Chain A
Amino acid sequence: MSRSQPTEVGDDADAESESFTGQGLPRVEDHRILTGKAEFIHDITPDNCLHMALVRSMHAHAEIESIETSEAKAHPDCELVLTAEDLKAEYNPMPTGIESVETEDGEADLFEWSLADEKARFVGEPVVAIVASNRYAAEDIADLVTVEYNSIDAVADGMAAREDDVVVHEHAGTNVVDHERIEFGDPSGAFDDADTVVEGDYSWGRISGVPLETAGVVARYDEDGDSFDIDCNIQLHTLVDNMIYETLGYGEDDVRVNVPADVGGSYGTKIGIHRYCCLAAMASQQLEQPVKFEEDRIENLQGGDMHCSDREYEMRMAVDDDGTIRGLEVWFVDDFGAYPRYPVNQVLKPLSVVTNSYDIEDVTYEYDLVLTNKTSQTAYRGFGVDPHIYALEMVVDKAAREIGMDPTEFRRRNMIQPEQMPYTLPSKNIYDSGDYPATLDRIQEIIDDERDGGLLDPEVVEAKREEGKYRGVQPSVIIEPGVSGSDWTDRQRSDRDALEDRDRDDVEELPEHLRATLEDDGTVTASLATDSSGQGHQTLVSQLLADELEILPSDIEVDYLDSIDAPTEYGSAASRMAVMLSGATVGLAEKFVANAKAVAADHWGVSGEDISYRDGALERIDTGDSLSLADLAAIDDADRRLTQVSYNYDHPATEFEEFDEAFSRKFPVYPTAAFGANAPIVEVDVETGEVDILTFHTVRDCGTMLNPMIVEGQAHGGIAQGIGASLLEEFGYEDDGQPQAITLFDYLLPSIENVPEIQMEHTETPSPYTETGAKGVGEGGMIDAPASIATSINAALEPLGIDEPADQIPVAPDHIRKNVRDLE
């Protein structure tokens, strides 16, 4: 179990073994990708296709005085020029996460047009769209547009924005467009009563997923049907397609959004690419020709609506001298950029793990969601939980040091115990299962081994210190909330007082939809209503369904439904799919087998009870006659009972009363709690300020592992992103709103040189709430790695007497150097 080593099996190998689920089956997606045949969005170029380019604002905050397009229009390759004025004549603004704010004079709308209207609010905001015969020409023509701006003061800092000296949406009168303070238990009592109150300020820099594939769209308007076909790499295409059809002013069924089977990574970020879809669709309607847009990397980094959490935290913790945590107070500002887009609820998701692995009853949670002159936020793996866990683990460390207790012992003392499971958090979400202290003990054993002749051997550590290199580690047990319910996600748009006594029956959940059809040759085609971007959903479903139908995975094809064919559902986000797809597969297979029996029963003229199903064949019990699935497909069934058999799997938490309170009050509901403990052995060079992670130990538990190879891959990738977040990545801004990271030379993605060996172990504590015992697992590494790296850096530099060197993420070399210099 030492190093992460995928089980090596050939495709369909181990057909002998009991089940495919639980095996590291190699993926069905791989062949087409490896041979270069996979069709990603940028590979789709229909005949007759035109290409779009965008003119973007170079100013962070500016009134648009005039737009001169005549020279552009005169270019022989120019097909179309669009400005906000054109859009406003025919279309709608894009829906946002917070539609309006209350002012003294009533409601002020926070409209966002697909092209800047009257005012540009961030560098990179699209102002003009150009369509031409090819991408090179479109960019030439974009250069011919002259926009006159009147640049005005900008605000590019979340804390400063709260002062409202510069207001991003003037008519709203404030940049603070959402605020909430929620108290659970009796926090003031706890703080008054405790022996000590510890305070810490922590900063989480703006980062994002930055998938290797940029956003792309190919839109086709069909005049006859007055409808649109949009191929694009948006994430959650059945959920957020409203961003597109509402903007276009069409109904849900008039705009077909289709996502290719292969998307080059998303990690949440591509939920926010609807602007491009809208613009390409509008252009194709104007021109009655297909229009394609390929975002380039600079556009993506500077103004691609794809940054994520950008937070300043003030944490307070009430502690007794014996090491008991009495209360927690969380206050933070999240800088959402220019528009409060869809993922405003990222500020609330941390409630699902508000005290992490600690048993704390009295909690205050308060935030300001502010707008600034930066590109807008989208979702990113972790969805706002990652900064919360980081800030919490930092203040836990600080509290331990202030009362003079070993930080690991302090954590152990306050940990939720296995006998408390299922454990209800003050914020009403529930942890399903797990032995957190045992996980902490195990990671401590691993660290002890490193101390005994390994990387942390006292002699080695001492010798390294002589060279100015400080080694250290500080683990904690961190929870990954999995399988989001959907109802809570519009809490920001709900009347908060009304939620106090909202009825459980008013809760609306989106089930996961799955379909199957028996093909003529006896194989089965399953259709996913979600989109995928590397998670291996096709493999997972073929593996699960093969077990349920007792056939081979290779006899199952898995394809994708577009937004019209699929019902509106949530889709692939929030660590949901392992649980939702496995539940859906079990239900679908039951229905499929029942229908198969019914068809066979009619064929033989017996009742369904006289038929058994085994190994992909039906047997008539009295005579022993049998029909294979291929035989069954040859039977002419007028009712087509084996075509498009569909099943909707309800969100698992809806079954359990324990979640009722969270559901009805729209607090985040995440019924699975995967967990893990990390021990990154860090080495800090005090001369250069550089942090080297020598090795990364991790002990993880995500319940039953459906495909261990995929589970480990998710953990590896998440941890690598966590390493990037904590040490390398940041979208920095000048005070005037000019972005500092607009190429991959400035926004540093971790390369193979930055990611150490990850040494992973697993335990498997099944979830009592899910069909297979699986827990959500897509985001864990990104949630837990930054906190663990930060506390390990603190530990490494403790001998120097530096107080919290990792108080800002990323922990950049100059920050460490500053801390060291201050000491000198």
Chain B
Amino acid sequence: MSTDSTDGTDGPVTEEITVTVNGEPVTAAVEPRLKLSDFLRYECDLNGVRVGCEHGVCGACTVQQDGRTVKSCLSYAVQADGAEIETVEGLDDDGSLHPIQEAFHETHALQCGFCTSGFVMATKELLEENPDPTREEIETGLADNICRCTGYQNIYEAVEHAAEKMEE
């Protein structure tokens, strides 16, 4: 969305923020009410941040902020001032997939793919904390993300497969 005032005088009030996004600093003047999800999607062109509900239930907008997953639709960009954000775009290495991404591909853990960025990011946090999770731990770790297509069966497989890959 546009940040400069429409007529030069009494346009929206903006605040300048600097956020490190996927390792690159981004400075922008944003309205205080701009959601972090919209900042990432529209200011940073990171469309891998998906928006499915804008009220904190579906998890499609999940990103990492300072190493912890957050639902980016639930916070404002200004709250991320000075923070480090990682999105799904930060995972692959010049097109070669991260082991978690590979695992999702190989186990058919995505169909429409609208939830996938969120699941991949949630899986990343889960495996960082617990490199060899049980099914129950996977269930708990991914309980904040909704997938409407896969019935989760292959998502379990993907997480387990990713854990194996990352161990190697």
A binding-site residues for B, Cβ under 8 Å: 4-6, 8, 10, 24, 26-27, 29-31, 33-40, 42-43, 45, 76-77, 133-136, 209-214, 262-267, 296-298, 533-536, 709-710, 712-713, 716-721, 743-745, 749, 751-753, 755, 757-758, 781
- 8 A Cβ contacts from B95-153 to A: 95, 97, 101, 104-108, 110-117, 120, 138-139, 142-153
Contact A716/B150 with A36-B46, A77-B6 known, Cβ cut-off 8 Å = yes
Q: Please state if A713 and B108 are interface contacts (CB–CB under 8 Å).
A: yes
| Chain A residue at minimal CB-CB distance from B98 | A34
Instruction: Give the distance to chain B from A38, nearest Cβ to Cβ, in Å.
Output: 6
Q: Please state if B149 and A717 are interface contacts (CB–CB under 8 Å).
A: yes
A713 to B104, CA, bound (A): 13
A717 to B46, CA, bound (A): 28
Tell me which of A10, A297, A712, A743 contacts B52 (CB under 8 A).
Answer: A297
Instruction: Give the distance to chain B from A140, nearest Cβ to Cβ, in Å.
Output: 10
Q: Please state if B52 and A212 are interface contacts (CB–CB under 8 Å).
A: yes
Contact A535/B111 with A133-B2, A209-B148 known, Cβ cut-off 8 Å = yes
B7 to chain A: which residues have CB within 8 Å? Answer: 76
Instruction: Give the distance to chain B from A36, nearest Cβ to Cβ, in Å.
Output: 2
A719 to chain B: which residues have CB within 8 Å? Answer: 151
Instruction: Give the distance to chain A from B161, nearest Cβ to Cβ, in Å.
Output: 9
- 8 A Cβ contacts from B50-74 to A: 50-55, 57-58, 60
A135 to B37, CA, bound (A): 14
Q: Please state if A534 and B139 are interface contacts (CB–CB under 8 Å).
A: no
A77 to B143, CA, bound (A): 41
User: Within 8 Å of chain A (Cβ to Cβ): is B157?
Assistant: yes
A43 to B138, CA, bound (A): 30
Contact A136/B113 with A6-B108, A716-B151, A721-B148 known, Cβ cut-off 8 Å = no
A6 to chain B: which residues have CB within 8 Å? Answer: 106-108, 154, 157
Q: Please state if A35 and B6 are interface contacts (CB–CB under 8 Å).
A: no
Tell me which of A30, A76, A209, A753 contacts B110 (CB under 8 A).
Answer: A30
Instruction: Give the distance to chain A from B135, nearest Cβ to Cβ, in Å.
Output: 8
| Chain B residue at minimal CB-CB distance from A300 | B53
| Chain B residue at minimal CB-CB distance from A209 | B148
Q: Please state if B47 and A36 are interface contacts (CB–CB under 8 Å).
A: yes
**Interface centre among B92, B144, B148, by most A CB within 10 Å?**
B148
Q: What secondary structure prevails in chain B residues at the interface with A? A: loop
Q: Please state if A34 and B120 are interface contacts (CB–CB under 8 Å).
A: yes
Other 9 A-B pairs with CB < 8 A, given A298-B55, A744-B57: A29-B113, A31-B105, A34-B110, A35-B91, A39-B47, A262-B112, A716-B150, A753-B143, A781-B151
Instruction: Give the distance to chain A from B92, nearest Cβ to Cβ, in Å.
Output: 5
A271 to B147, CA, bound (A): 21
A430 to B54, CA, bound (A): 46
Q: Please state if A752 and B155 are interface contacts (CB–CB under 8 Å).
A: yes
Q: Can you sample 11 A-B contacts with CB below 8 Å?
A: A6-B107, A8-B106, A26-B106, A36-B117, A37-B89, A133-B2, A136-B33, A262-B113, A712-B108, A752-B147, A755-B151
**Interface centre among B34, B92, B139, B146, by most A CB within 10 Å?**
B146
Instruction: Give the distance to chain A from B33, nearest Cβ to Cβ, in Å.
Output: 7
Contact A35/B50 with A6-B107, A752-B143 known, Cβ cut-off 8 Å = no
A214 to chain B: which residues have CB within 8 Å? Answer: 52
Contact A135/B1 with A33-B110, A40-B47 known, Cβ cut-off 8 Å = yes
Contact A212/B50 with A29-B113, A262-B112 known, Cβ cut-off 8 Å = yes
Contact A35/B89 with A212-B50, A709-B108, A758-B151 known, Cβ cut-off 8 Å = yes
Contact A757/B148 with A8-B106, A744-B57 known, Cβ cut-off 8 Å = no
Q: Give how many A-B residue pairs fall within 8 Å (CB-CB).
A: 190
Q: Please state if A34 and B97 are interface contacts (CB–CB under 8 Å).
A: yes
- 8 A Cβ contacts from B31-52 to A: 31, 33-34, 41-42, 46-52
Q: Please state if A36 and B48 are interface contacts (CB–CB under 8 Å).
A: yes
B142 to chain A: which residues have CB within 8 Å? Answer: 752
A29 to chain B: which residues have CB within 8 Å? Answer: 113
| Chain B residue at minimal CB-CB distance from A134 | B1
Instruction: Give the distance to chain B from A758, nearest Cβ to Cβ, in Å.
Output: 5
Q: Please state if A265 and B114 are interface contacts (CB–CB under 8 Å).
A: yes
The list of the 10 closest CB pairs from A to B, nearest first, reads: A36-B48, A264-B114, A534-B112, A720-B151, A33-B113, A716-B151, A534-B111, A744-B57, A134-B1, A212-B52
Instruction: Give the distance to chain B from A750, nearest Cβ to Cβ, in Å.
Output: 8
Q: Please state if B148 and A717 are interface contacts (CB–CB under 8 Å).
A: yes
B52 to chain A: which residues have CB within 8 Å? Answer: 212-214, 264, 297
A717 to B149, CA, bound (A): 5
A323 to B164, CA, bound (A): 54
| Chain B residue at minimal CB-CB distance from A748 | B57
Q: Please state if B108 and A42 are interface contacts (CB–CB under 8 Å).
A: no
User: Within 8 Å of chain A (Cβ to Cβ): is B85?
Assistant: no
Contact A35/B101 with A4-B153, A717-B151, A720-B152 known, Cβ cut-off 8 Å = yes
Tell me which of A43, A709, A744, A758 contacts B53 (CB under 8 A).
Answer: A744
A709 to B151, CA, bound (A): 13
Q: Please state if A27 and B104 are interface contacts (CB–CB under 8 Å).
A: no
Q: Please state if B2 and A749 are interface contacts (CB–CB under 8 Å).
A: no
**Interface centre among B95, B138, B145, B150, by most A CB within 10 Å?**
B150
Instruction: Give the distance to chain A from B80, nearest Cβ to Cβ, in Å.
Output: 18
B146 to chain A: which residues have CB within 8 Å? Answer: 212, 744, 749, 751
A710 to B95, CA, bound (A): 24
User: Within 8 Å of chain A (Cβ to Cβ): is B77?
Assistant: no
**Interface centre among B48, B60, B152, by most A CB within 10 Å?**
B152
Instruction: Give the distance to chain A from B91, nearest Cβ to Cβ, in Å.
Output: 8
Chain B window 1-17, contacts with chain A (Cβ cutoff 8 Å), 1 for yes, 0 for no: 11000110000000000
A4 to B58, CA, bound (A): 26
Tell me which of A34, A262, A781 contacts B101 (CB under 8 A).
Answer: A34
Q: Please state if A40 and B111 are interface contacts (CB–CB under 8 Å).
A: no
| Chain B residue at minimal CB-CB distance from A785 | B151
Instruction: Give the distance to chain A from B106, nearest Cβ to Cβ, in Å.
Output: 6
Tell me which of A30, A266, A752 contacts B139 (CB under 8 A).
Answer: A752
Q: Please state if B153 and A212 are interface contacts (CB–CB under 8 Å).
A: no
A257 to B162, CA, bound (A): 39
| Chain B residue at minimal CB-CB distance from A27 | B108
A42 to B38, CA, bound (A): 11
Q: Please state if A745 and B57 are interface contacts (CB–CB under 8 Å).
A: yes
A278 to B108, CA, bound (A): 36
Q: Please state if B113 and A76 are interface contacts (CB–CB under 8 Å).
A: no
| Chain B residue at minimal CB-CB distance from A759 | B153
A709 to chain B: which residues have CB within 8 Å? Answer: 108
Q: Please state if A534 and B113 are interface contacts (CB–CB under 8 Å).
A: yes
**Interface centre among B47, B91, B112, B154, by most A CB within 10 Å?**
B112
User: Within 8 Å of chain A (Cβ to Cβ): is B88?
Assistant: yes
Q: Please state if B114 and A136 are interface contacts (CB–CB under 8 Å).
A: no
Q: Please state if A34 and B104 are interface contacts (CB–CB under 8 Å).
A: yes
